[in-house]
């Protein structure tokens, strides 16, 4: 469920709702809000009271400038999966949801769901060979040719596809991630 978008400054009631719906404290939410507003202002200038109603998102290119995310090959994909309309443009609530799901305090199950969404590029509920190839392309900065991508996708699915249908369901991915004790801590982005 999306969090309500609010204009600056954050009202106490909305801040409380953000606290209840994320894995952040009030102070962490306020720090994240300052980072989000700074990204907007960096590109568009200072937000005036008259502009507040028009300000509702930052663009994926803005998110890519965050030092903690600059080197992450999946930053644009994260923006895409957390933007409600799929454009990658993030309202504050979407930006907060993204960071919350990747926070240290987020449960392993939330991180597993995020990982699945990240790799399910066509949003069909499965990670297919094409999805694996797209992920590998992102990880290798498109350095592999199509034959090499096919080999990698085939090997990955061959090792982790438990039911042999050449598709990885969330349940299959989750079972694999349960076997990685540090997954919860490795699948982490911190801006606070």
The predicted-structure confidence for 20-59, as pLDDT tens digits, reads as follows 999 999 999 999 988 988 888 887 777 655 554 555 789 9
Predicted structure pTM score: 0.86
What's the mean per-residue pLDDT of the chain? 89
Residue pair 33/92 in contact by the 8 Å Cβ criterion? yes
CATH number of 12-101: 1.10.238.10
Instruction: Compute how many other C-beta atoms are within 10 angstroms of the C-beta atom of residue 19.
Output: 14
**Is-same-fold flag (12-101; 108-186)?**
yes
Give 16's Cβ-side CA count (13 Å radius): 3
CATH topology for 108-186? Recoverin; domain 1 (1.10.238)
The predicted-structure confidence for 62-103, as pLDDT tens digits, reads as follows 999 999 999 999 999 999 999 999 999 999 999 999 999 999
Query: What pLDDT is attached to residue 6?
Result: 46
What region, left, alpha or beta, does residue 48 occupy, with left being phi > 0 and alpha being psi -120 to 50 degrees?
A: beta
Domain ranges of the chain: 12-101, 108-186
């Amino acid at each position: 469920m999306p969090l309500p978008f609010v204009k600056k400054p954050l009202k106490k009631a909305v801040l409380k709702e953000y606290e209840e719906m994320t894995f952040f404290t009030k102070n962490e939410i306020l720090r994240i809000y300052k980072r989000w507003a700074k990204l907007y202002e960096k590109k568009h200038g200072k937000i005036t009271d008259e502009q507040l109603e028009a300000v509702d998102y930052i663009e994926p290119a803005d998110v890519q400038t965050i030092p903690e995310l600059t080197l992450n090959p999946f930053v644009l994909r994260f923006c895409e999966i957390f933007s409600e309309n799929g454009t990658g443009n993030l309202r504050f609530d979407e930006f907060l949801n993204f960071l919350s799901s990747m926070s240290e305090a987020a449960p392993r199950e939330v991180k597993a769901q995020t990982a699945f969404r990240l790799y399910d590029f066509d949003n069909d509920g499965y990670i297919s060979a094409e999805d694996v190839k797209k992920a590998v392309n992102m990880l290798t900065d498109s350095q592999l040719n199509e034959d090499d991508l096919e080999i990698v996708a085939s090997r990955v699915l061959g090792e982790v596809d438990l039911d042999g249908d050449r598709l990885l369901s969330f349940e299959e991915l989750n079972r694999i991630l349960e076997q990685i004790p540090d997954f919860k801590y490795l699948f982490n982005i911190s801006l606070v």
